[in-house]
Chains A and B, each alone.
Chain A
Amino acid sequence: MRFQLIGLNHKSAPLEVRERLAIPEKHLPDTCRELTAYPGIEEGMVISTCNRVEIVTHTQNGHADLRGFLHTHFGLKPEELDAHLYEFREKDAVRHIFRVASSLDSMVVGEAQILGQVKEAYATARAVGAVRGQLDQLFSRAFAVAKRVRTETAVGSSSVSIASVAVELAKKIFGSLHGKNVFIVGAGKMSELAARHLMAHGCGSIFVANRTYERAIGLAQKFDGQAIKFEDLYATCDRADIVITSTGAPHAIFRKEHGEQFLARRKNRPMFFIDIAVPRDVSDDMAKLDGIFAYNIDDLQQAVSTHVADRRKEAEKAEAIIASEVEKFEARISTLDVVPTIVSLQDHLETIRQAEIDRVRGRMGQLTPEQEIAVEALTRGIINKVMHTPITTLKSAARESEATTVVDVVRRLFNLQVKGKDEASDAKKTEAGTRQ
């Protein structure tokens, strides 16, 4: 297991540094090619999102100069970059990738976007042939682990932004939001964000009222909605199912009498008020009316905080899953490491066996079918007995730290060439020599 990873993220580097390292999507294939052509690297992949840039590789000896690659690729001096970098090898690299894919290393723990971004990075690297063997195994497992974490924990199940909590609440009141009308009172940035979330979930028409009518028109145009004059607010507000209010009024603009009027005109169909104004726009007595559901900024913030705390608890469960998955993966990949040597050993002895049978045939002439069967059984039996101990030793050594030594000894004893691996390694050594 010669995985090596280097990178920086929102915890280790400020935005200005992350911006300098961000790799545009269209440049990712070339970066992957460049990475795999770098000395000591067999496979490589680049994950570049707004919160992280990471280089994940499978190397020839576990000691590739990934810092050097970053310095060269981005044209940055070590003192500009190195303080922000983290580096993981072998098991730690595997754990880190599992954590990233499962969204445990994200700024908002449990957010679903990161898995999609890692999958895209993997697809890009795979398409250019930069991921094919061990990294392929690693990321396939990482996606399965991420799925397991999502299924077995509630790490991503609750909303952790004010806008998404508002949408969730609206759904608890109205079920589907399709065709529900939204009224924005006071054209602020936060109202706009909440409205955008609601519209993305299928809300129908949007109305905007603001004391400055021109600003209402401006915001209404963004949503293809309708601007309403502020003095017409109470006459039209009942047309909306969801009201997002954030005026700068010093006192509540929605009071009990307004609520009663709205409900009477709506035949008591419920209304949801998202009151993000400070001081509040919806009075307490209006919020108590049957059919009026008013959540102020503190109520929404409280829901967000609880959800964040819940996610933290769930993240602990997820870490335990990842720890056990890392162990399983390590065991599996170690076994895979010795497989080429075993295959090579079998091929080698089979070649010797065939050559010896041919030699005997040449000396003794044509053998009878019975003799053919006897010779075949005899030689095969000898080969199997000879191979038994080395293969068993290789398999058991695969899980130990001495695996590389045992593999090297077996390869030297039998003078084995592992197909593909040795050829690629030789080619890379030649290429590196040419560069120097």
Chain B
Amino acid sequence: MSLLWLRFALACYFIGLVYAFFALSRTSDIFARIALHAASLGMVFHFVSLTELFLSGQAVWTAVHNGESLLAFLSMTFFMVIYTIYQTTAPGVVVFPVVFFLTFVAAMNQQPVLLVQFVPAKGWLIAHIILIFTGYAALVLSFGASLLYLVQERRLKSKKPKSLSSFLPALETIDQMGYRSLLLGFPFMTLGLLAGSVVAISTFGHLDFLDPKILLSVLMWAVYLIMVFTRWNSGWRGRRAAALASVAFLAALAAGAANYFSTIHRFAL
């Protein structure tokens, strides 16, 4: 039943996905409103799906598709928070496709893929998953904002009169969205990694920094740290900030992919 609700959510997110592609070429307030309502409805179905899953006692915290579903839901929650504050659906251009992709994978995956190892510290594991996914969701938003910043900057620099009717919010607003997401996500990511370390130590007795998963996670965290520092210290924006955000995003993807190569954070195939 949980999967059914998730598929309803997926159908709603599909409207968001279409909007994301549509918004790249033209502006439509009506379509933006439709996409927003569809996304809200999708979140309701998604919430029901997650709640049903966890109340049923069948939730497998280490199942990849549950994790993807949770990450999609958290990303959408961040999007809605941003919408409530700034009244813009522009971040949806990035967030909607990411959420759709994650939900699609979660909704299609019938066979749960489990972590190979038995994990004794279950509380720490849950904390690790929730914290790290919140950090990821913030990273998605931050990455999206830096892309939007680049697009808006290019439009304004092009000096074409049409840039004034762009659907994107003001440059400084986009900048604030990205920076706030970054600041909010960093502690979650840090605490998530710390909780993960506790899980690893309690399971294996030590941390193997040469393991691809750990190495890429630390790399991702380091890029995250550099992003926060350069922004705070030198106010990096535009191309440089987007480049860093892209590296962090790629590192996050690589860290995700490392689940299939890691010896300690490995999913069974």
Contacts and interface: CB of A to CB of B under 8 A. Distances in A.
Interface stretch (A55-63, A196-204, A263-271, A412-420): A263-271
Given A268-B235, A290-B153, A303 B171 contact: no
A302 interface: yes
A175 B172 contact: yes
Given A173-B156, A290-B153, A290-B238, A270 B161 contact: no
A299 interface: yes
A158 B165 contact: yes
Interface in A104-153: none
B225 to A, nearest CB: 18
B236 interface: yes
A37 B234 CA distance: 75
Given A270-B171, A302-B161, A172 B235 contact: no
Interface of B: 152-153, 156-157, 159, 161-166, 169-173, 234-240
Contacts of B153: 290
A291 interface: yes
Given A169-B164, A172-B156, 6 more contacts: A171-B170, A173-B172, A175-B170, A267-B235, A290-B237, A291-B238
B235 A266 contact: yes
Interface in A287-337: 288, 290-291, 293, 295, 299, 302-303, 306-307
Nearest to A267: B235
Contact of B171 (A173, A266, A302): A173
A168 B159 CA distance: 13
The 4 closest A-B pairs by CB, nearest first: A267-B235, A175-B170, A306-B161, A268-B235
A268 B164 contact: no
B166 A172 contact: yes
Given A303-B164, A307-B161, A172 B170 contact: yes
A205 to B, nearest CB: 18
A69 interface: no
A171 B240 CA distance: 23
A230 interface: no
B145 to A, nearest CB: 14
Contacts of B166: 172
Interface of A: 158-159, 165, 168-169, 171-175, 266-270, 288, 290-291, 293, 295, 299, 302-303, 306-307
B262 to A, nearest CB: 38
A295 to B, nearest CB: 6
Given A268-B236, A291-B238, A174 B172 contact: yes
30 contacts: A158-B164, A159-B164, A165-B164, A169-B156, A169-B164, A172-B152, A172-B163, A172-B164, A172-B170, A172-B171, A173-B156, A173-B172, A174-B170, A174-B171, A175-B169, A267-B235, A268-B238, A270-B171, A270-B172, A270-B237, A290-B153, A290-B238, A290-B240, A291-B237, A293-B157, A295-B159, A299-B159, A302-B159, A303-B164, A307-B161
Contacts of B171: 172-175, 270
Nearest to B164: A168
A306 B239 CA distance: 30
Contacts of A290: 153, 237-240
A168 to B, nearest CB: 6
A175 B174 CA distance: 10
A267 B164 CA distance: 26
A171 B238 CA distance: 18
Contacts of A168: 164
Nearest to A296: B159
B173 A175 contact: yes
